[in-house]
Chain A
């Protein structure tokens, strides 16, 4: 589904190389996890894939279902089925969460040549999905993420994912800031979406999330590269020993 080859990325404004040759292939139906020390480039990878400004791709490619995406606008990537749950969800004062969700859902439907949802239909679906994430009516009414707690913001990201039904979901530290119960809610939300036609790339520092969302493959990222790839046991190893053994081994 997602295939990244030899991806090199530097900052547009300064001469700083952040991704130094990332190779990664995520098949449909699979859950891949990426772990790695702070500053290794995990969020950068997720931003570059979703089309944020400020980065320059100096080499390599990223394909979604065989089509190059790095030239597309962020909204085109979204319409093609890519979704990023942000490490730091953005607050948008003055735009109601509900308005935001409906605008996004309908924009994507329109881009794909599908009928827009009527407000009745939309409301029904939102209420149901919000309920399972314990997002109350008040949070739906409030401006996007404004005054939300850290955990509420993360749950709101998962609600957006559930509404948009993307096929390639990237979750950047969605577990950080979540209490144990919220972690479970978020994991349930993700698991509910798992299916043959959908893939996940889960960026995390902790095994805890992976207890709930069982990954098929675990990658270790360091200094802008994937330095090691393995099964779920790799995450357990990181949890137990940290990164130094792995990094020494590949150095």
Chain B
């Protein structure tokens, strides 16, 4: 295999604990292809450059670490007031009773686990394709593992402008659930979709979302990652954008022991726009990693990354963001900012912004800061009678506001702010 022994052993140990899900046809072929790619690449190890700041061990080991699910009702409803098509998974198992009817004008929705025999050209062409493309120049073996072993997922083809968002709701039930979900979205030319995701999902969750956006298509994505304390998640988004298309993704993370969110964006049509943003708040045993790779391969495209992390009691935040501008991607506008608010000296933020530019007419900027709470602002609030913990939380919200402003839909943004406020209030006791 040519892999270091330690990697080979770890990969074999993991694979021996898994069975390729059943089914014949195109899904089987895609899974087998992924399996052989994975055997060649091996699972990540903390000595890999790409995992330098985040130890992947608990994401890789055969036995998932246990994570207690939050008591029912503890995770307040989110997106609740929003008209949406609800699709519910419990520990990765589709829950037909809790889900809405999967039909909506302007889109086709299929389930991965049911798709094997179906003649879904668009899904067959997409499943694992963007994930495979995303393996260069940096390997992302956890996503390959997902392509091989995904239990289920949603396949969506967007042909029009559906009246409401599709909302994926993930409930975490068992303390030892180990879940792979793989979703594909094909946005056809001129079509538009908003996808919502929320919930803790599992003790250990691995998701892949592949989004192909044709010319002038639009895709909005907002997710709130579950706040179960000990849960672990590795998520990867792969997207490819055609001419004048738009991709916008926002992730809110509160709590969770380990989160690695990767986002791989390829701008392949002129005048396309891709924004990816995130806000997270972590306390104590919390490690949150945003790893973004944006490739500009067309002219006059805009990309924007805005990430904000609030860390306390020894929490760790990681940001790796790369903008690669290829030779012919003239007039690229690339922006990247990552900031952390460290509420104490134990917490740390590791940022590695990277620019690699081969075109000559581009405007790219990046910045990264790490700071403590603004003492003047804190005193100002306290002098008005706001108790210190509440004053601090207001400043936390204030710090995150710039990232939350990346969400276009105001009512959705308000939902996320309410989620944050609730979490902060419970922390205060």
Contacts and interface: CB of A to CB of B under 8 A. Distances in A.
Nearest to A161: B384
Contact of B385 (A52, A75, A91): A75
Given A53-B375, A74-B379, A104 B385 contact: yes
Interface string B57-80: 000000000000000000000000
B384 A94 contact: no
Nearest to B397: A94
A177 interface: no
A103 interface: yes
Contacts of A104: 381, 384-386
A145 B381 CA distance: 12
Nearest to B403: A94
Interface in A159-210: 160, 164
Contacts of B391: 75
Contacts of B383: 50-52, 74-75, 77-78, 83-84, 86
B390 A107 contact: yes
A25 B319 CA distance: 56
B395 interface: yes
Nearest to A109: B385
Interface in B370-386: 374-377, 379-386
A108 B398 contact: no
Given A103-B390, A104-B386, A164-B385, A90 B380 contact: yes
Interface in A4-62: 50-53
A50 B46 CA distance: 51
B335 interface: no
Interface residues of B, number: 24
Interface residues of A, number: 30
B385 A108 contact: yes
A92 B381 contact: yes
A231 interface: no
Contacts of A160: 384
A72 B102 CA distance: 60
Contact of A94 (B379, B385, B402): B402
A94 B380 contact: no
B83 interface: no
Contacts of B387: 73, 75, 107, 111
A78 B380 CA distance: 11
B381 A53 contact: no
Contacts of A107: 384-387, 390
Contacts of A92: 377, 380-381, 394-395, 398
B399 interface: yes
Interface string B228-272: 000000000000000000000000000000000000000000000
Nearest to B387: A75
Contacts of A79: 385
Contacts of B399: 94
B125 interface: no
A67 interface: no
A78 B400 CA distance: 27
A93 B341 CA distance: 14
A224 B180 CA distance: 69
Contacts of A84: 383
Interface string A87-117: 0011111110001100110011001000000
A103 B424 CA distance: 15
A103 B377 contact: no
B101 interface: no
Interface in B385-413: 385-388, 390-391, 394-395, 397-402
A74 B381 CA distance: 9
Contacts of B381: 92, 100, 104
Contacts of A83: 383
Interface string A148-160: 0000000000001
Contacts of A78: 382-385
B379 A53 contact: yes
Nearest to A52: B379
A144 to B, nearest CB: 8
Contacts of A90: 374, 376-377, 379-380
Contacts of A75: 382-383, 385-388, 391
User: Which has the most chain A C-beta neighbours within 10 Å: B375, B379, B382, B383?
Assistant: B383
Interface in B333-390: 374-377, 379-388, 390
Contacts of B380: 86, 89-90, 92
User: Which has the most chain B C-beta neighbours within 10 Å: A51, A89, A99, A100?
Assistant: A100
B384 A73 contact: no
A94 B386 contact: no
A73 B382 CA distance: 8
Contacts of A164: 384-385
A95 B402 CA distance: 11
A74 B394 contact: no
Interface string B266-294: 00000000000000000000000000000
17 contacts: A73-B387, A75-B383, A75-B386, A77-B383, A78-B385, A90-B376, A92-B381, A95-B398, A95-B401, A100-B381, A100-B394, A104-B385, A107-B385, A107-B386, A108-B384, A111-B387, A143-B398
Identify the 5 closest CB pairs spanning chains A and B, nearest first: A94-B401, A94-B398, A78-B385, A108-B385, A104-B384
Interface of A: 50-53, 73-75, 77-79, 83-84, 86, 89-95, 99-100, 103-104, 107-108, 111, 143, 160, 164
Given A92-B395, A95-B394, A103-B394, 12 more contacts: A75-B382, A86-B380, A90-B374, A90-B376, A91-B377, A92-B377, A92-B394, A93-B398, A100-B381, A104-B385, A107-B385, A108-B385
